Structure 1
Amino acid sequence: MFFARESCFVFLLSLIQFTHILDFMIMMPLGRNFESQFQITPKEFSVLISSYTYSAFFAGILSSLFIDRFNRRITALFLYSGFILGTLLCGIANTYWLLFAGRILAGAFGGIITSVLFSFVGDLIPEERRGRATGVIMAAFSAAAVIGVPISLEISGLFGWNAVFLSIVFISCLILLLMYLILPHVTIEKETKESNLQGLNDIVRSKRYLPSYLLIASVILGGFTVIPFFAPYLERNVGVSKDHLSLIYFIGGSITFFSARLIGSLSDRYGKKKMFYILVPLACIPILFFTNLKPGSIFLTILCTSGFMALVSARLIPAMALITSTVDPKQRGRFMTIVSAIQNLASGMGATIGGLILTVKDIHSPYQNFEWVGILAVVFNVAALVCVSKVFSSIEYLKLKQNGGVI
């Protein structure tokens, strides 16, 4: 019965993550729609993508001042309600700037929700099952690709891109009701009366947490310099049709859905650090292949994109499981909010950097210089390999401290 309740709880967290990821992910395959309707360049499109993540970054920093002062359940309900309102604004947008405003509002609330989800995991899931739980939540990325993107593209083709966001709003309202019924109350007792600003300052400046911040930034930049231009590149440079684009997301997402759960279990069994060392070099292979992909066999394209989606997302599973284990439980909400803020900042920076490197002659011509974007992504992945050993040392320090070995 206990494991059934835990599984139900983790599944609900994955549903929340699913809508948040889909709301963000669907912007990329709809990129050509935005470029055509609003007559925008790749740089302006990258602004639409990064506006969500930059907004989430600033909101995350602000919320980290007080997030550990509130019940986790209340915080999650409030943030998810704000995310729904932002997505609703996207659904009724009829201009570039109104859509831009909707992305900022959705990012301000939705971007923080991930930190609350992983705080729940850290608070309620034992360390020996944390990798599996993380894998289930991270599988929401795959579910968004398998189910969300193909269906959303069909909705877009039938009713227009605005209907996609309105559909997400409808689903999210149902999930909000489930959150109200299922989410447990989790309140962290504070041992000290330190000010919010002092508590934030201690966590941000802590040398023990710095490797975690550098790790998440490197991992995100190692994928997000490429990811925002995934679908537009396939359409512009590789000649992939809308139908084949849906197929690519379906197949790649299906593989990632099962591989994410497998990676989570393997991380618990063989060690999160070891799995990260294996997955990062493997992920660099499809990154380089994808950013040099040319028109040709659809089978080769699907093989390359599936490897890209599975391996690039897989790196996050052991990385996040390691990061959630580095922090004292009394600081976890605030710490994970900062981690999420850095993750969003890195996502925005990745989109911005990629948009600055890419050039086009007009809104219909192929991207140029995408191979350099791939090389830069590999450099960030190498940096992540350097950071992970120091994160592991932080975990060992915390275990020693909790066992009374550090004064």
Structure 2
Amino acid sequence: FAVGKWHLCPAEEQHGGASRARWPLAVGFERFFGFLGAETSQFAPDLVIDNSPLPPIEDPDHHFSEMMVDRSISMIDDLRSSEPDKPFFMYLAFGAGHAPHHAPRRWLDHYRGQFDDGWDAWRERVFARQIAEGIIAPGTVLSPRPSWVPAWDSLSRPDQVVAARLMEAFAALISHADEQLGRLLDHLEATPDGDRTVVMIMSDNGASAEGGPTGTFNGAYLYNGMPHDAVATAERLEEIGGPNSFPNYPWGWAFAGNTPYRRWKRETHEGGIGDPLIISAPGIADPGAIRPQYVHASDIGATLLEWFGQEMPSELDGVPQKPLAGASLVPSLGDAAAPGRSLQYYEQFGCRALYHEGWKAVAFHPMFPYEPTDDPFRPFEEDRWELYNVMEDA
């Protein structure tokens, strides 16, 4: 089952008359419910069921995250009605927390006023909580705010009001998705699958700066080079997060959302590629524990195969298969001292990074200038490399 965001076929293949060669059902899934592109309205999503596009379902009282979980439960129940013990794999990719930051009114109201003191103060609170909960080591030094992210106190009052409201919409979107995921897990727990299901939760990148320095009421403004108008947005504050908006927050919140890391999505500093991974499964010896091993998303496939006692076939239906790129995480789940990944290369939009046995070398290459010296067209050999010991550098 694949449910939610796909984003693995080009735009020219995302319509009813297009080739379906890279749609979910052509690459191994048997059922699909979701959207094919990078983003969609959460109140009127561009839906596909299996191989058939649907007209938008415009319902301001029914959010896409709810539709996803409704459909996920239905798919599982359909399977269980005829195959009570057949294993299943579900890829569940919420539209949250990608833009647009749409959320039900009750969640928007829940977060009203909670970000009024701004991203600098919020980042300090998050950092302190991360240390207190053992997520990062005592003695860690919070990375500095870069020059292109303005201090919260430097913003005008209208800009602060708009920026805080845009963050409320993001928080509401995430919390609502968490609530819906809980609804799916509760459903599984009420069935025999509750004791035999492996659940892995992760994000696909760090927090995004795609809302630009000011954020926006409507992402189309940014895509078309239209300037942000804080006054006009302030006049529509109550619509932010609702079906008449298409909002994204300012990059100050992305900077705070990646605490304690540097930079953000589309780049290879940890703020762009360092993501949490939460695993729940039968037989984990110390549930709730934190593991320090360096791992990569490509390790998930190998982990599932080992967990269920399977091997990657060298050939499938007469077609030779590529070897798995990843390594199983199962040893680290039972042993906090087990070795993790020793080598990993990263590249995105010209930014590069190499991790090796606790050391990380990383180079930033600008997509557009954050600072006057940033030149997207400069030769790659002129990029500045940085070197860190990721286990020891504070």
Instruction: Work out whether the TM-score is over 0.5.
Output: no
What is the TM-score normalised by the length of structure 1?
A: 0.27
What is the TM-score normalised by the length of structure 2?
A: 0.28
- Asked which structure has the greater CA Rg, the reply is 2
Q: Which has the higher strand share?
A: 2
